[in-house]
Amino acid sequence: MNFSLQDYLEELRPLINVDCGTLTKEGLEAVASQMAAKYEAMGGWDIKVVDCGIAGPGLEIRNKPEAEHIDVMLIGHMDTVFPVGTAAARPMTFDDEKAYGPGVADMKSGLLNIVYTMRNLDKALLDKMSICVCMNPDEEIGSLHSQEWMRGVALKAKHVLVIEAARADGSLVKARKGMARYKMTFKGKAAHAGNDPQNGRSAISEMAHWILEVNKLTNFESGTTLNAGVVKGGAGANIVPDHAELIVDVRFWDNDEYDHVHNTLSNMTPFVDGVSCELVREAHKPSMVPSEKTEELMGLVEEAGKEVDINITWQAVGGGSDANLTAVLGVPTLDGFGPAGAMMHGPDEYMVLNTIEPRIRLLMRVLEKIAAK
Ligand SMILES: [Zn+2]
């Protein structure tokens, strides 16, 4: 295989040194055009730019755009969680072991590993397979604007591989918790806290009741947990607050148990007379739990690992990804095929250099074995 670490890192650098947090449309367009150009240069790929509304462009790249079925769908996201200014404040750097920078592991290196895989795969093998690479611009906010499109593609696919980073110890990901996020807006009635408190209706008191109810729904044993993570409200200590906002994050293994949480929250009524609450579900990803077909695919990946001399281990993790979206459709889905990395979503995010090339070889071998099935 053709691989130079130096070249790889130089190709990675412009993907890192651009602000492309979710909804930073300009930066995401820049990343999308860089990625599209790589496939364009390879030749043999049909590149479709998908309009994901306010989230910016997605890319759907196929070698057989006319084929009804897709043997393998590869998924990566182009957005990061970092605000504008991050790329200038801490552009990509590297030392002997690791590379650093916003999105270096989550997941620009994953996107580039897919490109290297396609460049190095035997042309005859590519001719035999129908491959679709999907890159979305909004994974970090729950793929709100791309999930309909991605689901539509996944329904045509026999296998889905998500190229998020491998865990720090190199493990791939076979299961991910589901997640949901709710925003609750409370409206009460303002009043002077000194002259007229009895005529006020406190939105913050109402919110406090909700937080306690939300906490009651947590079950650490089964892994259904709710976190009242953000609160806002009030305009001054001397005013009965007429406005409050609460954002709650839910994580779960059991999709039925989550349904119960969802119904409970949706049916809750105000505790304080004269206060209203509006509840909006801003994001939802079902949990990804391996099916029998997924276990078959895991076996294939383990065999591929043996053949390229990589010890395959698996983890079940709490964080969601687009793997959750496709797994729930019944399409065997595995995740973590990118280079290993850790400390995602923070300033210490890193990617392990000596895992780049082995992970490309692993992905190539997995595709070869799927083609031979
Ligand atoms: Zn990611």
Taking the centre of ligand 1 as the mean of its atom positions, its distance from the CA of residue 352, in whole angstroms, is 16
Taking the centre of ligand 1 as the mean of its atom positions, its distance from the CA of residue 207, in whole angstroms, is 32
CATH 3.30.70.360 domain range(s) in the chain: 178-285
Taking the centre of ligand 1 as the mean of its atom positions, its distance from the CA of residue 198, in whole angstroms, is 49
DSSP 3-state assignment of 182? strand
Query: Please, which residues have CB less than 5 A from ligand 1, an ion?
Result: 106-107, 164
Question: Where on the phi/psi map is residue 44: left (φ > 0), alpha (ψ -120 to 50), or beta?
Answer: left
Q: Please state the rounded mean pLDDT for residues 322-349.
A: 96
pLDDT score recorded for residue 99? 98
CATH 3.40.630.10 domain range(s) in the chain: 5-176+288-372
pLDDT score recorded for residue 312? 97
Please check the confidence at residue 359 and state whether its pLDDT lies above 90: yes
pLDDT digits (tens, 9 = 90+) for 252-283: 999 999 999 999 999 999 999 999 999 999 98
Q: What token pair was written down for 354?
A: 């000596």
Taking the centre of ligand 1 as the mean of its atom positions, its distance from the CA of residue 356, in whole angstroms, is 16
> In angstroms, how far apart are the furthest CA atoms of the chain?
82
Which CATH code fits 5-176+288-372? Answer: 3.40.630.10
Please check the confidence at residue 319 and state whether its pLDDT lies above 90: no
Taking the centre of ligand 1 as the mean of its atom positions, its distance from the CA of residue 340, in whole angstroms, is 12
Residues 6+ apart with CB under 8 A from 26: none
* CA distances from residue 250 to 145, 188, 220, 320 in whole angstroms, order as listed: 20, 26, 12, 11
Q: What is the DSSP string of 190-251?
A: -EETTT-GGG-B-HHHHHHHHHHHHHHT-BTTTTBEEEEEEEEE-S-TTEE--EEEEEEEEE
pLDDT-derived band of residue 212, with 50, 70 and 90 as boundaries? very high
pLDDT score recorded for residue 336? 97
**Mean pLDDT of all residues belonging to the chain:** 97
Please check the confidence at residue 165 and state whether its pLDDT lies above 90: yes
Which CATH code fits 178-285? Answer: 3.30.70.360
Report yes or no: 22 and 79 within 8 Å, Cβ to Cβ: yes
Report the share of the chain in percent with pLDDT over 90: 97
Taking the centre of ligand 1 as the mean of its atom positions, its distance from the CA of residue 166, in whole angstroms, is 11
pLDDT-derived band of residue 2, with 50, 70 and 90 as boundaries? confident
pLDDT score recorded for residue 192? 97
pLDDT-derived band of residue 100, with 50, 70 and 90 as boundaries? very high
Please check the confidence at residue 149 and state whether its pLDDT lies above 90: yes
pLDDT-derived band of residue 1, with 50, 70 and 90 as boundaries? confident
